[in-house]
Amino acid sequence: MVVLVLIDGWGIAPHGEGNAITATDMPFISRLIKEYPVAALETGAPDWNTRYLAMGSGINTSGNDEIPATTLSAVISQAGLRQFKVSDSERYAAATYFFNGLTEDKPTGESWKIISEKSGLANKATADFRAVLKTGLQEIKSAEAADFIVISFSYLDLVVLSDADKPEIVSKAVQVIDKSLKSIQAEVENKGGVLLISSAGGNAEQLLNLRTEEIDKNLTINPVPFIVVGEDYKGLSIGGKDAPDNDLSVLSPAGSIADIAPTVLTLLNLEIPSSMTGKNLLD
């Protein structure tokens, strides 16, 4: 089992004013960074949909209308393996249509669960997050769990969009995510699987435009983290590099988000298609 958790809103930037990530105590994530392989990945494209297309196709696309020759989901389906994707309605199109290479048809063996709690709730983003988490955990724990599971969270991104001027609220969201990842990792470990943690892009790491000193809610072009958590990978590194003092901002990018698909295929013991320009980050 390989589980890919995407925490949109989590980017990498040096510690400083406006960085809600480094300003927040994240004991579980900090432990993972210290004990398991970690890398910084370039994001490239300026929008969410194109980035999800790159992650699912294994190609650094320049736009979100480029239909790839194949995708991660297609290769997994052709191998006869099962896959499951869950997201909230904010990332519905990105996590399904774009991730799957601009197709609305589910490949054989794939199922989707799109979460949308009642609109109008003051805490709808939180309610959606909890429902996505619950659904993802249920699938991991299932006796017939999928071989590849994608859990896409837009929670942190949405908190920034609504409360970027209140860094304490953004920091609280980061803490909630840290605790939730602990629950996910425990279940993946119990199944003997591998957990991959990444993001399609950040904004919580740059809440302030230091040039204009104005609040900044926009999707950044900063690198994003990539962490590989599994018993066989403990104590190893990507590219022979570790993050001193858990500071991911000192790492030069080891690749891009297009490398996620080839890495997943390698973990599933599947061949990487020649059309994928991304590389296996664990080589």
Placement of tokens 């949308």 in the chain: 116
Task: Evaluate whether residue 277 is within a structural domain.
Answer: no
- 195 C-beta neighbours (distance < 10 Å), count: 26
C-alpha atoms less than 13 angstroms from C-alpha of 172 in its C-beta half-sphere: 8
Task: Give the whole-angstrom CA distance, residue 124 versus residue 158.
Answer: 10
Task: Evaluate whether residue 28 is within a structural domain.
Answer: yes
**Order of strands, edge to edge, in the sheet holding 83-88?**
110-115, 83-88, 148-153, 2-7, 194-198, 224-229, 38-42, 255-256
Sign of the dihedral through C-alpha 255, 257, 258, 259: positive
- In this predicted structure, what is the pLDDT of residue 119? 60
Q: Is the pTM for the entire model greater than 0.85?
A: yes
Q: Which tens digits make up the pLDDT trace of 140-178?
A: 999 999 999 999 999 999 999 999 999 899 999 999 999
Task: Evaluate whether residue 135 is within a structural domain.
Answer: yes
- In this predicted structure, what is the pLDDT of residue 180? 97
Q: Which tens digits make up the pLDDT trace of 100-137?
A: 999 999 999 999 999 987 665 458 889 999 999 999 99
Give me the number of domains the chain comprises: 1
Task: Evaluate whether residue 208 is within a structural domain.
Answer: yes
Task: Evaluate whether residue 278 is within a structural domain.
Answer: no
In 3D, which of 153, 156, 226 has the Cα closest to residue 194? 226
Task: Evaluate whether residue 47 is within a structural domain.
Answer: yes
Task: Give the whole-angstrom CA distance, residue 4 versus residue 230.
Answer: 12
- In this predicted structure, what is the pLDDT of residue 168? 93
In 3D, which of 70, 65, 58, 69 has the Cα closest to residue 258? 58
Task: Evaluate whether residue 280 is within a structural domain.
Answer: no
- Structural domain span for residue 27: 2-267
What is the CATH number for 145?
3.40.720.10
In 3D, which of 27, 16, 9, 23 has the Cα closest to residue 168? 23
Task: Evaluate whether residue 132 is within a structural domain.
Answer: yes
Is residue 218 predicted with pLDDT exceeding 90?
yes
- In this predicted structure, what is the pLDDT of residue 61? 83
